Each structure stands twice: as structure tokens, then as C-alpha cells.
Structure 1
Amino acid sequence: MPITFSGWEVCSENFKQLQPGQAPKKSHGYTMYHGTHKSNAQAIITSGFKPSAGGTLGAGVYCSRDINKAMGYPGYCAPNDRVVLKLQVRVGKVKKIDNQCMHLQTTWHQHGYDTAWLPATVVGLEEDCVWDPKRLTVVGIAHCGDAGMKNSLESLIKQQGNGQGQEASGPVGKLCKTCGMQTQDTHTVTKCWVCKAAICAFMNKHVCSKK
């Protein structure tokens, strides 16, 4: 016999509220930031990221949940020439690189991990390295000193279908219109058995109007 109910409330850890110091969870999506030269921003938005051949965490695309980290990159250019891209990142399998795991600092991907996470306790401001650039989607411009360029880049993002407030395409997934969650697969929407309102099993709260 199926279980019936007419309301619920859950407490969940929303990925957008997760702070930089908290460990990323496997297969979750996170808001992150990437600093680049203004001359590179358009190509990244239209063609995607080109992974770095090396760095602190080896090869991959570097980003951070701490915007202050991204604001310092690239280090060779003037502050007004920097653009900070806002990303949605599907991290996959994550390896925390700390004092016990420094032997995997640049070889983590060879051990089956999709992302390496260097906590703020190790480097001052957290840093992430994502192996596959397809796991990152540009969804906004967090910083750009040139207002005209910022508007142009934001328009370009919308043309790609990845703008904030829209359903993001690519590996991050789409937005369920009922529960508001990012999802790879379409959520099944049904009706509350009492008030007949549209509900999704992934909603964090439903208060039945007739209860």
C-alpha cells in the first residue's frame, strides 16, 4: 500500500550557501569563480576553458569558491584588465589535498579524482582544480572594471543559454521549475493528494493548504 502524506519540511545543505572553508561533497554543484585577462573572457564563454598544463595542483582548470582568490588572477596584469567569471561547477569525485595527501598534489586525477581541493588552512585562500573543463559553466560576470565590456560579456552568456536566472545547459544540469534544484534528470512532478498542488519529491518544504 503506498504511503500518502500532505506536507513536509527538510533541512538541507544548499550548494550555493556552502562556505569556502567547508569541504565540497562528491557529485555536487558549486558556485565558483575564475579570474582571467579581459582578452580571454569572450573565448572562454563561447568555446569553454582550456586546462592549464600545470600549476600548484597540476593540470586542469583552476577556480575557487572564494572570490577573493579569483580577484588576484592573472597575477601579471593590471587590476582593471582582470575579469572574474562566475561559474557553476560539477565537481565529481573530490580529493582534499592537505598535509597527509601532498604526495597526490599533482597526480590526483591518475587516482580517479575529478577535482582537487586545496583548503584555505593550507594556502590561505582555497583553491580548486577541475580536470575536465566540461564540468564548468560560465553563468555570470562577478567582476569587470569596464562597464561596457561587462554588459557585452553578460549578453554573450545569455546567448549561450547559461545566464543567471535561466536554465543552465551543459554538465551542471537544468533547473527543476517545481523544487528549484539543479538536476541532470527530469524530476517527476505530481499533485498533493489533499490540496492537489504541484509537488516534487525534492522540494524542501510543502505546506498543504487544506490540512
Structure 2
Amino acid sequence: MPIQFSGWETYCEKSRHLKPGQEPQKSHGYIMYHGTHKSAAATIISSGFRPSSGGTLGPGVYCSRDINKAMGYPGGCAPGDRVVFKLRVRVGKVKKIDSKSMLLMHTWHQNGYDTAWLPSPVSGMEEDCVWDPKRLTVIGIAHCTDASTKSSLESLIKKQGQVQEADGRSLDQCKGCGMHTQDKHTMEKCWCCKTSVCPFMDKHVCQKS
């Protein structure tokens, strides 16, 4: 007998969408944000990030779990020209940069770390620097005041049907839940509104009253 679904919303106490002040753990994946100019957004989605040659934490791709940090970038451009990406970041081995580790502020990667984390008490708003751009995947648009640009970028994200993991495996993106997986998820019909849903979706709002 097929499983039947109606509207639902799930809650998880161990969510990896950590608050800005919580320390990231080795090898976990987290939701983060990155601000860029809208003229560069499409290229980043299609071709990936280009690491900066320098910055507060040295070379790498800068992002933050604090969306307010990302909202200020890039500096010097009009707010309406900014796009903030929602990212999934596989942090790998993380180095916390504090008063005890300032000597590693620009050399953390050479010392075996994949990501440097600068907590908010040090910088005002927390930020992360990721050495390998392949560790970041754009999964959504968190901010864009231009509705047409936002729609175009969201369509482009959806067209990126496959992502390449670090080990070279090709993963398909489920059209229902948005997860990247090797095993295709079987879509089911909501018994109430008949919408196609994925059993792995964390939320489904039934359209039929």
C-alpha cells in the first residue's frame, strides 16, 4: 500500500543551521551566506567561486553564518546591486582564530586546515574563509531586491541539476526536497491536494483547505 502524505513541518534539534556564535564542527556541512555584485552572480552559480587573493583571513572564499555580514558585501556598491547567496558549506577541518591563534590568521591552510573561523567577538560579525571553492554549493538566493534578477538566478540554480562532490561522485538534485543524492527519491502524491511531494521534504503546506 503506497504511503499517503498531507501537510507537515518537521523540527530537528540537531539542525546544522547553527547560529553565528556557535562553533562549527569538523567535517560538518552548514548553511552560510555570501554577498556579491549581481553582475557576477550568474557566473558564480555556473562556474563556481573564485577564491580571493587576500583578506582578513588570507586567500580563500569568504562567507558567514550571519546574513547581516554578507549583506554588507561587496563594499562600495549600491544596496540594490547586491545579491546574497544561501550556501551549503562542507567546512572540513576548522581553525578557530582567536587571541591564542592570531599567528595562524593567514597561514591556517598551510597548517592543515580547510576553513578558518573568526568568531563575532573578534570581528564584530563572524566570518569564515574556505580554502577550496568546491566545498561551497549555492542552494538559494537569500537577498536580491531586483525581482527579475532573483527569478533568473533561482532558475539557474535549479538548472544546475548535478554537483561534483570532492571525491568526484556525480549527485542528482531532487526536485522535491532539494537534496543532492546518488539515489533518486521517489515522488508521491499528497492525498489531500494531490501535489507531488518528496518524503524527505521538511515542510509541505497543503493547498487544499
Shared fold per TM-score greater than 0.5: yes
Letter in 2 for 1:15: R
What is the DSSP-based 3-state SS (H/G/I as helix, E as strand, rest coil) of the residue aligned with 1:92? coil
Query: How many angstroms does 1:185 deviate by?
Result: 8.0
Q: Determine the C-alpha separation between the residues in 1 that align with 2:119 and 2:182.
A: 31
Determine the structure 1 residue equivalent to 2:72: 72
Question: Which runs of structure 2 are paired with 1:84-99 in the superposition (5 Å)?
Answer: 84-99=84-99
Report what 1:207 is aligned to.
none
Q: Deviation string for 1:4-24 (max 9, x for gaps)?
A: xxxxxxx862212x1110000
**1:93-131, CA deviations, whole angstroms, 9 ceiling, x for partnerless residues?**
000000110000010000000000000011111000000
Task: Note if 1:149 corresponds to 2:143.
Answer: no
Do the aligned residues in 2 keep the contact of 1:26 with 1:91 (CA within 8 Å)?
Answer: yes
2: distance between equivalents of 1:29 and 1:128?
Answer: 13
Q: Does 1:117 align with 2:101?
A: no
Alpha-carbon distance in structure 1 between the residues aligned to 2:181 and 2:14 = 18
1:171 corresponds to which residue? 165
1:133-177 deviations in Å (ceiling 9; x for gaps): 000000000001100000000000000027xxxxxx3338969x9
Matches within 5 A, 1:31-110: 31-110=31-110
Maintained 8 Å contact 1:136/1:171: no
Structure 1 unpaired stretches of 5+: 1-10, 163-168, 187-211
The number of residues matched between the two structures is 167
Query: Structure 1 residues 15, 183: CA separation in 2 closer, same or farther (over 3 Å shift)?
Result: farther
Sequence identity, in percent?
68
**Contact kept? 1:137, 1:170, Cα under 8 Å:** no
SS in 2 for 1:106: coil
The separation in 1 between residues aligned to 2:63 and 2:111, in whole angstroms, is 21
Classify the secondary structure of the residue corresponding to 1:62. strand
CA distance in 2, matches of 1:100, 1:184: 40
- 3-state SS in 1 of match to 2:152: helix
**So what's the TM-score if we normalise by structure 2?**
0.74
Tell me if 1:140 matches 2:140: yes
Structure of greater Rg: 1
What's the TM-score once normalised by structure 1's chain length?
0.73
Q: Cα RMSD (Å) of the superposition?
A: 2.5
CA separation of 1:94 and 1:184: change in aligned 2, threshold 3 A:
farther
Spell out structure 1 runs of 4+ moving beyond 4 A.
172-175, 182-186
State the Cα distance separating 1:76 from its structure 2 match: 1.3
Within the alignment, does 1:14 sit opposite 2:8 as a pair? no
Partners of 2:37 and 2:148 lie apart in 1 by 16
